[in-house]
Amino acid sequence: MFDFGIVTNWIDALLNSVMPGWLATCVEGVLVMVALLLLYSVLAMFYIFYERKLCGWIQCRLGPMRVGPWGLIQVFADVFKILIKELIALKNTDKFLFALAPYLVIIASMLVFANLPWGNGLQIIDFNIGVFFMIAASSIGVVGILLAGWSSNNKYALIGAMRSGAQMVSYELSIGISIMTMVLMTGTLSVTGIVEAQADGWLIFRGHLPAVVAFIIYLIAANAETNRGPFDMPEAEHELTAGYHTEYSGIHFGFFYLAEYLNLFIVSGIASLMFLGGWMPLHVPGWEGFNAVMDYIPSVVWFLGKAFFVSFLLIWIRWTYPRVRIDQMLALEWKYLMPFGLVNLVIMALCVTLGFHF
């Protein structure tokens, strides 16, 4: 499998050969920042179109078809519309916190997005505590949502923010427990290390039943963590108008909108890295010819394909089940998911200690 580290090291050596070291580092930082912003924007627009078409398919309709062939330009038209909308200045609001909230949400999303390794040797930085960093950075988004609801001076926004805060803080526990189950199996907090440990088999296959249970718990908790149906109580239109971003317009609303769809990709990418091998190809023991063919597929294709597959599952769940009540949502976490996750973590510890996994 091709190592993208060859390309990144060549670029680093080239820049250091023609300019001072400090300037080369600055240029590399700018290049990485531009690449991240482009990827962030393009993926967000792709996911908007992806969900609209999947939603139409599930509901036996076509989805957007008017703007461009097969509705391909509809997303660009919507983005342009958001960009030219006026930023409305509201009375009786905390203007500083009101303006700060969407930036906190987008910064939290960008930090986690930047920590995802896209392929073999294709990551910005490989923290030895990368898993801990991702969980910590994702928690910043809760602060932005709470600030948005409180600073809007709107009862609907405040209720939506309170619901979202309770929901995200609660379901982060199940997400963390599911990820720690895989960390326990591989023995490392490095995201790259976890992926490399799956070279001979993806963890969802090697970890027996505890890995499958952890994957199912992660899918449910990730859907709730991203405030998506059937756990979209913070944005319940029939109760709260639009929830915590009711009073936002223009690009500020666009930040919330982009972060929601990029968070869908982020939780899907983390699932592919933790359970489905990340950029590692599918290998079957004894099938050397098949394994050799799989190695020819670029690692980026493997990672994106797995992430899109998990996103398909999450979108399918959203458009299949009705919205739950707030008490049902919290009861599911505290009475079922977290206890099952903790028991599953103990079972995985026993399997690792006794050598019962593959």
Other CB atoms within a 10 A radius of the CB of residue 248 amount to: 24
pLDDT tens digit at each of 358 positions of the chain: 677 778 888 888 888 888 888 888 888 888 888 888 888 888 988 998 998 899 888 888 888 888 888 888 888 888 888 888 888 777 888 888 888 999 998 999 888 998 898 888 788 878 888 898 988 888 888 888 889 888 888 888 888 888 888 888 889 999 999 999 999 988 888 898 899 888 888 888 887 888 999 999 999 999 888 888 788 877 766 666 777 888 888 888 888 888 888 899 999 999 999 999 888 888 887 788 888 888 888 888 999 999 999 999 999 988 888 888 888 888 999 999 999 999 999 999 898 888 776 5
Q: What pLDDT, on a 0 to 100 scale, did the predictor assign at position 292?
A: 84
Q: What pLDDT, on a 0 to 100 scale, did the predictor assign at position 342?
A: 94
Q: What pLDDT, on a 0 to 100 scale, did the predictor assign at position 357?
A: 62
Q: What pLDDT, on a 0 to 100 scale, did the predictor assign at position 239?
A: 66
Task: Please spell the DSSP secondary structure of 62-122, one letter per residue.
Answer: ----SSSGGGTTHHHHHHHHHHHS-----TTS-HHHHHHHHHHHHHHHHHHHHT---BTTB
Q: What pLDDT, on a 0 to 100 scale, did the predictor assign at position 177?
A: 94
- Using an 8 Å Cβ cutoff, are 279 and 195 in contact? yes
User: CA-CA distances (angstroms) from residue 317 to 32, 187, 229, 283?
Assistant: 34, 32, 7, 29
Q: What pLDDT, on a 0 to 100 scale, did the predictor assign at position 69?
A: 86
Q: What pLDDT, on a 0 to 100 scale, did the predictor assign at position 238?
A: 65
Residue type, 125: I
Burial 90-112 (b: 16+ CB within 10 A, else e): eeebeeebbbbbbebbbebbbbb
Q: What pLDDT, on a 0 to 100 scale, did the predictor assign at position 266?
A: 93
Q: What pLDDT, on a 0 to 100 scale, did the predictor assign at position 162?
A: 85
Residue type, 129: I
- How big is the CA angle at 342 (ends 164 and 126), to the nearest 5 degrees? 75
Number of H helices, E strands in the chain: 16, 0
| Residue entry with tokens 């590399």 | 28
- Using an 8 Å Cβ cutoff, are 314 and 267 in contact? yes
Token code pair at residue 85:
């909308």
Q: What pLDDT, on a 0 to 100 scale, did the predictor assign at position 221?
A: 92
User: CA-CA distances (angstroms) from residue 211 to 30, 138, 332?
Assistant: 39, 23, 20
- Using an 8 Å Cβ cutoff, are 311 and 264 in contact? yes
